[in-house]
Amino acid sequence: MARADLETIAGLLDGCVDVRRRPDSVQPLRYPLPEASFYDPFTRWVASTPAGVRLRFRTPSTSVRLHVNQRLMVGEPGAERRGAYDLFVDGRPAGRAWAEGGQELQADMTGVGDERASVTFEGLPAGDKGVEIWLPQAATVSIRGLETDDGTEVRPWPDDRRTILFHGSSISHCMEATGAAGTWGAVAANLAGLRHVNLGWGGSCLLSGLAARIIRDQRADAIVLKLGINVWGEGMLKERTFLDSAHSMLSIIREKHAATPICLVSPIFSPGREDQGSGGGLPLARMRELLDAVVQARVAAGDGAIRYLSGLALFGAADATDLPDDLHPNTAGYRRMGERFHARMLSGEGALV
């Protein structure tokens, strides 16, 4: 088989913020590598998982094989299987596969097994075509090799479509979905024919200036900020600091996205958290009121490119059967969220993009 070199592979990655280069692999990251020491270890880990990151190239090959180092966060017993690699050919879903091998990360972050793994797609259409391989959002993945049929090569396939960027918590990261193309942001973007960037950081959406700087510096034609749930735990932000942090995040993003449409989305339904705070913090119902007020204040100050969307419009109490742990939707729930976001925000005359 023909094998691409590592620098070529790095140039095929799309949807990441940075790339870590090692002698034997390249790893897509969703934070700037030079600033790694700015982040706590857990945030570094979730921002190292390649949610929404794709290998995107053109090739006449009828088979593609990836060699990777993979460390997959396993779900609870009985949960849906995670870690799929999703294949698209010329923009259409064309297959799904799981890696053979790889390490499994337990709840305490200890690894079991050899991290070396491979994933193969065969039976691709003959002739030159555009190929996308979406990397799993519940694993860290370092790519050691990309192989195609003998006598073939891979060529960059830049994505010049308009870009929609999503930032949020685990409910935007969507580790529970079977594969990365099943996250609600990816579902919505693919329905709208948009390029998609997922900056959802499980457990680490803290309305932070660090995240805001990353978003500010990305190419984006629309930005979706789904805020609130991660600061519910332990009452991380009280009312004054919640408002200040939300406004600060938006102000930093506006430094380079002065007129880019922004949609501020509040928390989805979560039993036990709706009317009860944690550690003296805010319940979700109050967070929704405050985020709505943030948008109203900025509109009154002259920002005509910002909107508010209640998370309950994406996933409400009637959807609770698809909320197995009372916090994270399953794959069906995430798909419904994506379809609803597309219908409300990405279609018709009032579409964000």
Per-residue pLDDT at 266 exceeds 90: yes
Q: What is the pLDDT of residue 77?
A: 81
Amino acid in position 63: S
With a CB cutoff of 8 Å and minimum separation 6, the contacts of 99 are: 66, 68, 70, 72, 83, 85, 117, 118, 119, 136
Taking alpha carbons only, the member of 16, 84, 27, 91 closest to residue 52 is: 16
User: How do residues 203-214 score in pLDDT, each as one tens digit?
Assistant: 999 999 999 999
Please check whether residue 158 is in contact with residue 11, taking contact to mean a CB–CB distance below 8 angstroms: no
Q: Determine the Cα–Cα distance for residues 288 and 303; give it in Å rounded to an integer.
A: 20
Specify the CATH architecture of the domain 163-345.
Answer: 3-Layer(aba) Sandwich (3.40)
Amino acid in position 299: V
Residues comprising the chain, all counted: 353
How close are the terminal C-alpha atoms of the chain, in Å? 41
* Every domain range in the chain assigned CATH 3.40.50.1110: 163-345
With a CB cutoff of 8 Å and minimum separation 6, the contacts of 248 are: 207, 209, 212
Question: CA triplet 322, 328, 331: central angle to 5 degrees?
Answer: 55
Q: Facing residues of 3 across strands?
A: 147
Q: What is the pLDDT of residue 110?
A: 86
Q: What percent of the chain has pLDDT over 90?
A: 95
* Every domain range in the chain assigned CATH 2.60.120.260: 2-156
Taking alpha carbons only, the member of 254, 259, 317 closest to residue 284 is: 317
User: How do residues 290-338 score in pLDDT, each as one tens digit?
Assistant: 999 999 999 999 999 999 999 999 999 999 999 999 999 999 999 999 9
Q: Compute and round to an integer the Cα radius of gyration of the chain.
A: 20
11-19: average pLDDT? 98
Please check whether residue 84 is in contact with residue 140, taking contact to mean a CB–CB distance below 8 angstroms: no
The single residue listed with the structure tokens 């938006």 is 250
Please check whether residue 54 is in contact with residue 13, taking contact to mean a CB–CB distance below 8 angstroms: yes
To the question of pTM greater than 0.85 for the whole model, the response is yes
Q: What is the pLDDT of residue 6?
A: 98
Q: What is the pLDDT of residue 109?
A: 84
CATH number of the 2-156 domain: 2.60.120.260
User: How do residues 72-113 score in pLDDT, each as one tens digit?
Assistant: 998 888 888 999 999 999 999 999 999 999 999 987 888 899
Question: Whole-number mean pLDDT of the chain?
Answer: 97
Q: What is the dihedral of CA 195, 201, 205, 209, to 10 degrees?
A: -70
Q: Determine the Cα–Cα distance for residues 23 and 13; give it in Å rounded to an integer.
A: 18
Q: Determine the Cα–Cα distance for residues 260 and 215; give it in Å rounded to an integer.
A: 12
User: Quick one: three-class SS letters along the chain?
Assistant: CEEECHHHHHHHEECCCEEEEECCEEEEECCCHHHHHHCCHHHHHHCCCCCCCEEEEEECCCEEEEEEEEEEECCCCCCCCCCEEEEEECCEEEEEECCEECEEECCCCCEECCCEEEEEEECCCCCCEEEEEECCCCEEEEEEEEEECCCCCCEECCCCCCEEEEEECHHHHCCCCCEHHHCHHHHHHHHHCCEEEEEECCCCCCCCHHHHHHHHCCCCCEEEEECCHHHCHHHCCCHHHHHHHHHHHHHHHHCCCCCCCEEEECCCCCCCCCCCCCCCCCCHHHHHHHHHHHHHHHHHCCCCCEEEECHHHCCCHHHHHHCCCCCCCCHHHHHHHHHHHHHHHCCCCCCCC
User: How do residues 105-160 score in pLDDT, each as one tens digit?
Assistant: 987 888 899 999 999 999 999 999 999 999 999 999 999 999 999 999 999 999 99
